[in-house]
Structure 1
Amino acid sequence: MLEQDPVLMSRLLTGLTLGFHIIFATLGVGIPLMISIAEFIGIRKKDPHYLLLARRWARGFSITVAIGVVTGTAIGLQLSLLWPNFMRLAGNVIALPLFMEVFAFFFEAIFLSIYFLTWDRFKNPYIHWLISLPVVIGAGMSAVFITTVNGFMNTPEGFAMENGKFAAVNPIAAMLNTATPTKVFHVLSTAYLTAAAILVAITAFMILKKKATDYHKKALKLTVTLVAIFGILSALAGDFSAKFLAEHQPEKLAAAEWHFETEEGADLILFGWLNEAGEVIGEIRFPKFLSFLAFGDFNSEVIGLEEFPEDEIPPLIVHYLFDFMVLIGFALIGVALLYLIMSRFKRFNEHNKGMLWLLVLSGPLAMLAIEFGWFYAELGRQPWILRGYMKVEEAATSSPYVGLMLILFLGLYIVLGILCIVTLRKMFRNNPAEFELEKKYPKSEKSLEEGEVL
């Protein structure tokens, strides 16, 4: 049974790999910035709590990077094994960004090693902090280069088509395709948002489990503030993305909003379901908001799915993926702002159980939004693997053994996931922050209380 449909099996295996890899790729992009910010604040304020935050986050980050390398390698392998026809057609176009993505990773890895090995080695602590900046840049550039490949698959540019092959290839133009700016902005802002939300969830859970120490209070305040900042940036990136889709991929936006007929003053549809006649029922409507989302004008015309051939319409399930992604994004902003407002007024206890549980939920919900967003990005391009040039069915392998590969990779990801959780637990469970703070900075609490310079 598994060997009968290699196209379906290839889709499932690619989806499985991307779904697993995106967890570690997102943390790999976002966590270095969190580490750098914490260390900078610690040095500037001469506060050992923030310095310890940077140390502990860096330690945990090393594990996620190691697993991200394995899953990233799997994606590169699967591109050639599962989608050979796509690589035959577009390989010479996407080779440069793929190479640059690998280069950016090695650049990051080199400076990450130096960063780990040079704690407390410099008289001027800012020198060590400066080493974190190439790590942040390398992580971000890895995301940028791989995102240009995805952008190219959505808006192929930078070549001429001759005899069914790409000719006169301009790799820079292909990388800087029309989709790249909005996609890069969206990927980076949501990665930073999600990394901050994961750290918020861990800290809030520790406060629930133990008590709100100064270390945990500072960690929570910092990470929640970053969630609010990057949440707002992500919302702005989402707005730019919607306007890009309206102009360049209208079928993708129309599928996300179940917008079937071209009309002016189009409504924004939230949830609902389709009856047997294909009509939307049980939905929440926001009059004319889709037109505003698409073009910044409540009366603008939005193209409907009726304008496209039936075999080029994306699967309509993307509507729910889009809705959940957007709702979670706004929920994260709301929870972060609520915490920050409560923290400004003494009559409120921002560390009450209800608030803390909302913050704990922020982490998994943020990662879920990343999953929804990436699956919307990929499913919303269907049936194309390279929009306008090659469909998924044309790109896939005809090998009957993809089903076996699916089982093997599923086993690999289960093992990697378990190893990651077990290793992180052993790394921090018997080494609580309070103990490590006292060991590394034995006079820190006393100094902070008396206002001494450390």
Structure 2
Amino acid sequence: MTSYDPVMFSRMLTSLTLGFHIIFATIGVGVPLMIALAEWIGIKRGDAHYLLLARRWARGFVITVAVGVVTGTAIGLQLSLLWPSFMRVAGQAIALPLFLETFAFFFEAIFLGIYLYTWDRFKSRTAHFWLLVPVVIGSSASAFFITIVNAFMNYPVGFTYTDGKITDVNPIAAMLSPAMPTKVAHVLSSAYLTCALVLAAVSAWSLLKGRDHVYYKKALKLTMVSAFVFLVSTAVIGDLSGKYLAKYQPEKLAAMEWHFETQSHAPLVFGGVLDENNEVRYGLHLPNALSVLAHGYPSATVIGLNDIPKDEHPPLYIHYLFDIKMGYVGYMTLVVLLFLIAMRLRRGNPYAKWLLRLIIVAAPVAMLTIEHGWIFSEVGRQPWILRGLMRTSEGATTSEHVDTMLIVFSLLYLVLGITSVRVLTRMFRSNRAEDEMVARGMEEEEGGAIR
């Protein structure tokens, strides 16, 4: 009979909570920016379709914020209950960004309430738009500060560590971990990209169902063009992340590419299997690509796993996590480019049914990319919870009731997930955009033209 392992159950519960929360956190970061883009375009062009787009997106956003509050609270609770030793040691250094994250959320929530309840109450629409700016700043700042905590876990700085205790803490220096710039930028950019594709899928679904209305076409164009911009920025930041890993977390980079021998002109490996001698079979080798990813030029030397203590090796299956993630990125890139090409070609049809179906699939693919990215990030840091200082097994609780908590929180997330989907579905199914435009007396003065 297998003995009870509180570390395993703590990891399972934390993974479940983060995996569920990241869905709503991603929406909470990206959707406000998309709302702002829609409203700004509507104001500048005097286009009622974009203004209605902003209004409808804002309604749905409120539901996801409510669920995100619950799951975010669960994370805070579990940090103290499941990882008490970690919080006792690291809590002093990360207390400031945790506090600032809470402050950023309240800042966002206050202005979101004002924004929602002041539609049509200003003579100047621009005045109403400016109420949304703090919401965008607050949502992104919330992600910024909580990601700083994760960056600190990957490369802790700003303190003295002696006999298992942190002293001489410099909170600002702790927030400025070398992992912070690339990790924060990647989280924000990928959240914007994912939300653009999720909203694009909603419009594509409506068009596929026969709602051939200019409102949905404008929504699809806005979201797909935005997705292209965020895709490019995410790719650039991803390249910088590889260079960060090469310098500060070489064991993670080596494990994700099954790179065992320190060498120059290192190839990047895609797919394959490892044999008993750690030789890669059936994989696709891209010559010099790992050296370029790590240091920017083909002859660069990349540290291999054989030069790192074996008890500090991350699990080698993160190679597959990274490959799957890059496969998702390839799919999203293909779909976005196909849409843009179809939109630019004289005889192209960006609203063809086959392309709409691809766009719909891109939404769950984008969210899975976020999930795989976080799993890769966290598993790739193992065996450390606080890299170089505290192992995951040392930071976990010794409680005998974590398995019960796992069941309780699983049920909670199941209820929240089903409820939020049902509420959002009913909210928009019973109140279609074209019906709302008629009810509000909006005229399609542009005759279906997409600007």
**TM-score category (smaller protein):** over 0.9
Aligned to 1:85: 85
Do the aligned residues in 2 keep the contact of 1:3 with 1:401 (CA within 8 Å)?
Answer: no
Q: 2:13 aligned with 1:4, yes or no?
A: no
- Aligned residue identity for 2:412: L
Q: 2:35 aligned with 1:35, yes or no?
A: yes
Do the aligned residues in 2 keep the contact of 1:9 with 1:403 (CA within 8 Å)?
Answer: yes
Do the aligned residues in 1 keep the contact of 2:214 with 2:448 (CA within 8 Å)?
Answer: no
Aligned to 2:230: 230
CA distance in 1, matches of 2:3, 2:116: 46
CA distance in 2, matches of 1:129, 1:329: 33
Give 3-state SS (helix, strand or coil) of 2:236's partner: helix
Per the alignment, do residues 78 and 217 of structure 1 end up closer, same or farther by CA in structure 2, a change over 3 Å counting?
same
CA distance in 2, matches of 1:311, 1:79: 25
Query: How far is 1:3 from its partner?
Result: 7.3
CA distance in 1, matches of 2:174, 2:277: 42
CA distance in 2, matches of 1:277, 1:13: 35
CA distance in 2, matches of 1:213, 1:306: 60
CA distance in 2, matches of 1:450, 1:161: 65
CA distance in 2, matches of 1:162, 1:379: 26
Per the alignment, do residues 258 and 159 of structure 1 end up closer, same or farther by CA in structure 2, a change over 3 Å counting?
same
Q: 2:353 aligned with 1:330, yes or no?
A: no
Aligned to 2:434: 434
- Aligned residue identity for 1:262: T
CA distance in 2, matches of 1:54, 1:271: 42
Aligned to 2:443: 444
The runs of at least 4 aligned residues of structure 1 exceeding 4 Å deviation read: none
CA distance in 2, matches of 1:450, 1:212: 10
CA distance in 2, matches of 1:156, 1:272: 34
Give 3-state SS (helix, strand or coil) of 2:285's partner: strand
Counterpart mapping for 1:264-275 below 5 A: 264-275=264-275
CA distance in 1, matches of 2:224, 2:2: 45
Aligned to 1:304: 304
What do the CA deviations read for 1:232-283 (whole angstroms, capped 9, x no partner)? 0000010010000000000001111111111110001011122333321111
Query: How far is 1:426 from its partner?
Result: 1.1
Query: How far is 1:437 from its partner?
Result: 1.2
Query: How far is 1:352 from its partner?
Result: 1.2
What do the CA deviations read for 1:205-240 (whole angstroms, capped 9, x no partner)? 111112331001100000000110000000001001
How many matched pairs?
449
Do the aligned residues in 1 keep the contact of 2:186 with 2:238 (CA within 8 Å)?
Answer: yes
Query: How far is 1:443 from its partner?
Result: 4.0
CA distance in 2, matches of 1:133, 1:202: 24
Do the aligned residues in 1 keep the contact of 2:213 with 2:448 (CA within 8 Å)?
Answer: no
Aligned to 1:150: 150
Query: How far is 1:162 from its partner?
Result: 3.0
Gaps of 5+ in 2: none
The TM-score with structure 2 as length reference comes to 0.98
What do the CA deviations read for 1:98-139 (whole angstroms, capped 9, x no partner)? 000000000000000000000011001001011111000000
Query: How far is 1:48 from its partner?
Result: 0.9
Do the aligned residues in 2 keep the contact of 1:42 with 1:49 (CA within 8 Å)?
Answer: yes
Do the aligned residues in 1 keep the contact of 2:271 with 2:323 (CA within 8 Å)?
Answer: yes
- Aligned residue identity for 2:280: V
Per the alignment, do residues 415 and 333 of structure 1 end up closer, same or farther by CA in structure 2, a change over 3 Å counting?
same
Per the alignment, do residues 443 and 424 of structure 1 end up closer, same or farther by CA in structure 2, a change over 3 Å counting?
closer
CA distance in 2, matches of 1:369, 1:63: 23
Query: How far is 1:2 from its partner?
Result: 8.7
Do the aligned residues in 2 keep the contact of 1:197 with 1:363 (CA within 8 Å)?
Answer: yes
Counterpart mapping for 1:211-226 below 5 A: 211-226=211-226
Aligned to 1:358: 358
Do the aligned residues in 2 keep the contact of 1:36 with 1:129 (CA within 8 Å)?
Answer: yes
CA distance in 1, matches of 2:361, 2:442: 35
Query: How far is 1:202 from its partner?
Result: 1.2
CA distance in 2, matches of 1:27, 1:208: 23
Per the alignment, do residues 13 and 443 of structure 1 end up closer, same or farther by CA in structure 2, a change over 3 Å counting?
closer
- Aligned residue identity for 1:217: K
Identity of paired residues, percent?
A: 57
What do the CA deviations read for 1:62-103 (whole angstroms, capped 9, x no partner)? 000000000000000000000000011011111110000000
Gaps of 5+ in 1: none
CA distance in 1, matches of 2:448, 2:70: 48
Give 3-state SS (helix, strand or coil) of 2:178's partner: coil
Do the aligned residues in 1 keep the contact of 2:272 with 2:280 (CA within 8 Å)?
Answer: yes
Aligned to 2:102: 102
- Aligned residue identity for 1:90: A
Aligned to 1:58: 58
- Aligned residue identity for 2:129: W
- Aligned residue identity for 2:419: L
Query: How far is 1:448 from its partner?
Result: 2.9
- Aligned residue identity for 1:363: A
Q: 2:136 aligned with 1:136, yes or no?
A: yes
CA distance in 2, matches of 1:337, 1:450: 23
Do the aligned residues in 2 keep the contact of 1:32 with 1:135 (CA within 8 Å)?
Answer: yes
Deviates more, 1:425-434 or 1:325-334: 325-334
CA distance in 1, matches of 2:138, 2:330: 29
Q: 2:412 aligned with 1:412, yes or no?
A: yes
CA distance in 2, matches of 1:449, 1:286: 51
Counterpart mapping for 1:367-446 below 5 A: 367-440=367-440, 442-445=441-444
Give 3-state SS (helix, strand or coil) of 1:351's partner: coil
CA distance in 1, matches of 2:162, 2:127: 53
Query: How far is 1:10 from its partner?
Result: 0.3
Aligned to 1:318: 318
- Aligned residue identity for 2:393: E
